[in-house]
Structure 1
Amino acid sequence: MAPAPPRAAAISALGLRKSYGGRTVLDGVDLRVPEGTVFALLGPDGAGKTTTVRILSTLTAADEGEAQIAGHDLAREPADVREAIGVTGQLPAVDRLLTAEENLLFMADLHHLPRAEGRRRAADLLRRFALGSAASSPAGTFPDGMRRRLDFAMTLVGAPRVLFLDEPTTGLDPLSRRTVWEAVRGLVAEDGVTVFLTTQYPEEADQLADHIAVLDRGRVVAEGGPEELRRRVPGGHIRLQFADTEALDSAAALFGAVVSDPEQLTLQVPSDGGFQILRAVLDVLDDAGLRAEALTVYTPGLDDVFAALTGQPAPRSSSQPSPRPVARQPADSRQESA
């Protein structure tokens, strides 16, 4: 079966540079975001994430470089770019005196939607962002998380083809964070929207992104899918558990660089998390007539990737989700693993 053709680029940028007062903020950034995907620009504070969004959303001009958004040239067709995009910044831009519904209807008027269409879209967004019970309440009475959700909903009134989210969940409570994540997934899966997300939280990029670029000091220092990035960081291993010390010692003699724990009857074999290494380890054991009682595949998390590439520990969100599950194999599952 022939591979599917590559998706067209919803966002492409080449050589973006920006300086403020002699300080370089972006230093030659290249990006390509396929249509209908979630792209995460991951990096610490001050890496240049917000500047990148401001440039791509026409709010700031780049000193050098070029970009196309939704098929429109950023420099020559800024009005067309603005028609195709939505932008949610780090601070909610809601009118505190208006109710949630009125804020949405106001945005519908700005987009020149017919009254019935505006009301339909407002009702749908109130439902999607769990704001229905607060539809008639002034936005000024909302907690921060609810205001952020309303701001996000307002960005979607115009049905943008490309959505820029600049650290949209910073400081949110767990419920609001999950609501935003589910909304992002729904926009991509149901509406085909392309999402460009900036975040300093590796777990957020891991939860949402198809492709991640790590930005540090104005440069893209690595990019790829979440699994691909994990494999770039050492520390992954396969943990084998045996029934007795005799089997443990026999297995340890088969491999080179291993960590043996006689008390736990476990052996750690270095691995990049790939299937080929796992299969090779199982083949070696099988050829020697040895049987592991259990095995677990450990791969570094994106927080390890973040720290290794930026030299800074990954910040923890206020609602750190459960750790990424590891792949466990029962003792007799060699055939299933192959």
Structure 2
Amino acid sequence: MTTTTPHSPAIAAEGLRKAYGDKVVLDGVDLTVPTGTVFSLLGPNGAGKTTAVKILSTLVTADAGTLRVGGHDLAADPQSVRAAIGVTGQFSAVDGLITGEENMLLMADLHHLSRSEGRRVTAELLERFDLVEAAKKPASTYSGGMKRRLDIAMTLVGSPRIIFLDEPTTGLDPRSRHTMWQIIRELVADGVTVFLTTQYLDEADELADRIAVLNNGKIVAEGTAEELKRLVPGGHVRLRFSDPDAYQSAATALREVTRDDEALALQIPSGGSQRELRSILDWLDATGVEADELTVHTPDLDDVFFALTGGTDIPQQTKENVR
């Protein structure tokens, strides 16, 4: 039985460290994951995301750190942690030589469910994940999306309240990815906590309540998607004109604009707030200048990711404010 409450974190890590020889993979990582939320860990290849998942799911031992998962101390009570969690790794755990149903029943046996209970849970999950028609077929015949759905269904056999999803949609087509997103939303709606690592930044933007960016073994920023996007400068409003005279008038009158004489377009620095947009529109009305097109451009998580992991300068004070 877990000891978490709706107000206590599902996962809490303080000073998490892990090294392999001289290679420091995780260097004093602090994480707090609220219960019933999606927490996404982003980072380039080799940043330590999978190592963090392996440690928090008891597969690898940390070198240092205070870690609690599901209300249990990871070092003192790993068995209780295992009882509270489910793990879907980068590579499918599905056995292709047996049927989907047999994979599910095998998991039920591993969780020590009775024969009748195992069959009941298997039937419910196969229906929930739209796998009933394929249940009697060898899993090797399943598409990538079907195998991933089966993989998560197998993870849910033990009714975990915390699920680690390590790059769950890698290699899936767009339709299968969106199906997986809907499954994750439904899990969280049921009160499950999801710890998600992903290479797809739009996936984190779409699903995560909070996002942490891991680089060189350290958390370099953490916050909501919107908070992280505000770390990166470059938001602007773009005005495009078809009338060269109107373009020239606007370019002369407006301050701090970037001109594109070929496209007859002006770029005005802006965070995209309602007040800033209203100010620009009021100015256009007052001067009688008419733009043919107004578009708002704000930084996305791609911009944040490259800025935080690729050396683009972000003010240190801003980083600390988000964290």
Shorter-normalised TM range: 0.7 to 0.9
Q: Separation in 2 of the partners of 1:285 and 1:177?
A: 43
Q: Separation in 2 of the partners of 1:184 and 1:56?
A: 20
1:203 paired residue number: 202
Structural mapping, 1:1-338, within 5 Å: 7-189=7-189, 191-242=190-241, 244-262=243-261, 264-286=263-285, 288=287, 290=289, 292-311=291-310
The question of whether the paired residues in 2 share the 8 Å contact of 1:245 and 1:262 is answered with no
Q: Which runs of 5+ in 1 are unaligned?
A: 1-5, 313-338
Bigger mean CA deviation after superposition, 44-53 or 151-160:
151-160
Shift of 1:276: 4.2
The question of whether the paired residues in 2 share the 8 Å contact of 1:239 and 1:297 is answered with yes
Q: Separation in 2 of the partners of 1:223 and 1:276?
A: 27
Q: Separation in 2 of the partners of 1:281 and 1:219?
A: 41
- Alignment deviations for residues 243-273 of structure 1 (CA, whole Å, 9 cap, x no partner): 6344433433443221234554432111233
Q: Separation in 2 of the partners of 1:10 and 1:256?
A: 50
Q: Separation in 2 of the partners of 1:149 and 1:135?
A: 12
- Alignment deviations for residues 24-82 of structure 1 (CA, whole Å, 9 cap, x no partner): 00011111111111111011110000110011111111111112112222222211111
User: Normalized against structure 2, the TM-score is what?
Assistant: 0.86
The question of whether the paired residues in 2 share the 8 Å contact of 1:24 and 1:218 is answered with yes
Shift of 1:99: 1.2
**1:45/1:250 Cα in 2 relative to 1: closer, same or farther (>3 Å)?**
same
Q: Separation in 1 of the partners of 2:234 and 2:260?
A: 17
1:332 paired residue number: none
Question: Partner of 1:92: helix, strand, or coil?
Answer: coil
1:328 paired residue number: none
Question: Partner of 1:47: helix, strand, or coil?
Answer: coil
- Alignment deviations for residues 229-252 of structure 1 (CA, whole Å, 9 cap, x no partner): 222222221112456344433433
The question of whether the paired residues in 2 share the 8 Å contact of 1:38 and 1:209 is answered with yes
Shift of 1:128: 3.3
Matched AA of 2:48: G
**1:8/1:265 Cα in 2 relative to 1: closer, same or farther (>3 Å)?**
farther
Matched AA of 1:278: L
Q: Separation in 1 of the partners of 2:283 and 2:121?
A: 60
Question: Partner of 2:157: helix, strand, or coil?
Answer: coil
Q: Separation in 2 of the partners of 1:116 and 1:276?
A: 62
The question of whether the paired residues in 2 share the 8 Å contact of 1:149 and 1:176 is answered with no
The question of whether the paired residues in 2 share the 8 Å contact of 1:129 and 1:180 is answered with no
Count of matched residue positions in the alignment of Structure 1 and Structure 2: 307
Bigger mean CA deviation after superposition, 174-183 or 216-225:
174-183
Question: Partner of 2:25: helix, strand, or coil?
Answer: strand
**1:34/1:294 Cα in 2 relative to 1: closer, same or farther (>3 Å)?**
same
Bigger mean CA deviation after superposition, 144-153 or 297-306:
144-153
Matched AA of 2:204: A
2:314 paired residue number: none
**1:286/1:179 Cα in 2 relative to 1: closer, same or farther (>3 Å)?**
same
Q: Separation in 1 of the partners of 2:62 and 2:243?
A: 64
Q: Separation in 1 of the partners of 2:141 and 2:243?
A: 64
Shift of 1:151: 1.5
Q: Separation in 2 of the partners of 1:262 and 1:126?
A: 59
Bigger mean CA deviation after superposition, 93-102 or 42-51:
93-102
Question: Partner of 2:133: helix, strand, or coil?
Answer: helix
User: Normalized against structure 1, the TM-score is what?
Assistant: 0.82
1:335 paired residue number: none
Backbone CA RMSD of aligned residues? 2.5
Q: Which runs of 5+ in 2 are unaligned?
A: 1-5, 312-323
Which segments of structure 1 move beyond 6 Å, counting only runs of 4 or more? Answer: none
- Alignment deviations for residues 198-230 of structure 1 (CA, whole Å, 9 cap, x no partner): 112212212221211111111111122222222
Matched AA of 2:125: L
**1:276/1:215 Cα in 2 relative to 1: closer, same or farther (>3 Å)?**
farther
Shift of 1:102: 1.7
Bigger mean CA deviation after superposition, 40-49 or 199-208:
199-208
Q: Separation in 2 of the partners of 1:279 and 1:145?
A: 45
1:322 paired residue number: none
The question of whether the paired residues in 2 share the 8 Å contact of 1:130 and 1:179 is answered with no
1:316 paired residue number: none
